[in-house]
Structure 1
Amino acid sequence: MGQTFTGLLKAVRTRAASAGGTGQAPAAPALLRLCGDHLAALAAAGPIEDASTTRLVASLGTLTTACTPGAEGLFDAVLRAGRDALQAGGQDRARFALALAVEATGMRERSKGAWRLRGQALDALGRRDEAVRMYERHLTLQQDEAAAHEVTRRIETLRELGALLDGAAALVPDPEDAARLRALHDAPADRARTGFADVVRRRTAAGGVGLADPEVRRLTASYAAFRRLLDRDRMADPLPAGAGPVGAPGLRRLIQGRSVCVVAGAPRIAEEEGAPGSALARRIDGYDLVVRCDGPHGGAGPRTDLHAVTLRGDPPWAGPAWGRRAGVRLVFGDPLADWRRALRTRLVPGAQDHIGDASLRRPLTDPALLGEDGWGGRTTTAFTVLRLLHFLDAADRLDLVGFTPPGRLPPREQAWVTAHTAHEDATELRTELR
């Protein structure tokens, strides 16, 4: 990857220096400069370790190739690079996506995809009023009812966020705090969250009135609603065939006092479990709740009380449907829009009783749950669900089955398991966590 990355950066700089040649698209020089600057910033940031950034670099390679004289597919390459930049996350990449979107809307003024990308980039940057205008421009061109509904819902969410800020500003007597709240109209989500919380903290502490003051209670209620809307759109998550949503409290109640095992999905384990008279199958069946990860998607299969799956692939909503029966299905994935779309397209009505809600879609990095740094986007599904269940600390017993000997988990995940192991029985392929 290092040599490829260096070669790509060199090629972009060479093409940018000679931009403007015959047969080259008018937007190509500006696009090459944008790609070169962003690639240089990525190179300065150190080794690339996450899959989303790797996809972004590949998209930039495609885009720079499309900038060469006589090449085709430039517009599509711009949109793809912009979407990958947003999915990679971070303010720098959102600004890069916005710059690409501006070029795209200049190239094709009637492209609904370009205007939506521009709205999404502004949305990610916290420039909500501008994002609404771009989304509305997109809606004037959008003919797909389902896609239009999704954008309309987002517009309603952004407007409600603004109304909550304005309403909260009217509840604080300090003019400076009121101005701070109104300024959060154009703040990224993390800064808006922190800024609102600071104002609430000061108002609650002022004069010792606390929650006894009705206006303070209204202010804290506005803050709670604002926090929810930052992470979830105003409409409920899609739940087919009557399946109920479950968050962390509900999941904790489901596993409270029960014995739980997370079963490895290795072919050898499946073969041994499926053998006639299997001792392994009897041991697994002795647990109150059996957790399985990823794996086959449909048809009859071994008992699965909780199925955990991580969104993979490009795009993640295009994968096989989750048709195998499970009591609870947890879907891990980011960003939120992709997660929602995957639920709409891949969940099978009647295949689950409960679906993990948006609060459980990225438990390791969500500050409202574990909020642990350093795991990145490559964490295995088995470790993600194991770490979540261990964090909830409600199971009477939590075991791994089929993860011995070591090597079935990446080194850092295995190190965590080793540090939290109370007992290991290689004969039974069982690791008991403390």
Structure 2
Amino acid sequence: MAIRTSNQAIDAALKDTKNKPGTCQMTVRNWFNAPSAGDRDGDGDADAVDGWLSEPKTARHPGDRNPPPGRPLAFSGGSKGYGHRALSLPGGKIRSTDMDGDRYKSGVVGTVSSIKALEKAMGIKYLGWSETITGHKIHDSPVAKPKPPKEVPPVSTDHIEFTIAHASLQFNDPAKQKFADVDKIFSQGFDHITGTEAGRGSGVLNAALIKSATEHGYALALTEKYDTWVAVKKDNIKPGSWRMGARYAFPRAKRIKPRPPGIWGDKAIVWGSYEHTLVGRITLGSMHPVTRRGAGPRLKKKLDAVYMNNLREWGKIHGAGNNLVFIGGDFNASSKNFKLFRSAPFRTCWDDVKRWPNTGHGNIDAIARYLPDKRVRCVGATVQNDAQFFLNTDHFLVVTKYRVQF
């Protein structure tokens, strides 16, 4: 039978976010569209141990901790001795059932930072990787180039179009990975970029942003205090018109009583603003609401309301007259079934294109436009997952295209 290629299996794995506990072998082979391994050891089931035994010895790579992307990994042990199977991703990461990041969570499919982290979280021992899945040879396919946003027929010839990308970075990644991710993103030449997880708690990430902004010709709105940031290609900026600032929203976790379970820094909308020769002033902001797990549902609801009230007022100020306003962020919530911005008049790119794809932890990263200005239209929005545009961070790159009528 024809099974999926390595890249196709990675795509399938990244789309899965939930699994039935105890079905790692079935889940991994389904990512490849491969048949069952059968009961190889005679214990009455087709588990991960059977999966490893189903691979020809000549196709196994015992103990090799540097598997190529898109290959099944095998582990022994576990609480019931059934072993475990997972899938290798680019950059040494692993896609696994029953994992939420680097911690065990039954029924959740997540991306783990390394083989070692998976061993530690599940109490299992790495056996190796194989060139086959249940005996069927796995073939590679060319890595796809980042897909351009889907085009919409123009409504007028009197318009401009520009790109806005959003990158939720990883504050605790090693320095080498931070510099690599930032430079890869900036080298794409997007007109505007918004992002998160910089600031004083991010180690060298501010230095990486400054370096890449300088080398690739971007103006940068960045602070030591807040984790959000904005970059704009200098070619778009009318000389002397660049402005930047931050609108404070609420304090860091340790200053909130009672103390929440999570940790976060002071929150704000960090923004950059400039004059465009054709359409006037454009202001872009970036924000990063807290997680439900970090704050608890009641406090998150309260803090989200504070943040969105600030967004509403910030939009009113910077969107006055014919000024254009956009906000990007890791919103830690989706706009699909939730009124994300409350009373703030913004609309996400996903609501515009009527698709709500996974951006790494569900549909939580987005760009949004300010609704009072009717000249603006979102004409494309895509997510570049790790198979399409690999980044070390645990989120995927969001790329949008907007059209503005003169």
Task: Compute the TM-score of the two structures, normalised by the length of structure 2.
Answer: 0.28
The structure with more radius of gyration: 1
Query: Which protein has the bigger helix share?
Result: 1
Query: Which protein has the bigger strand share?
Result: 2
Between the two structures, name the one with larger relative contact order (CA 8 Å, sep ≥ 6). 2
Task: Compute the TM-score of the two structures, normalised by the length of structure 1.
Answer: 0.27
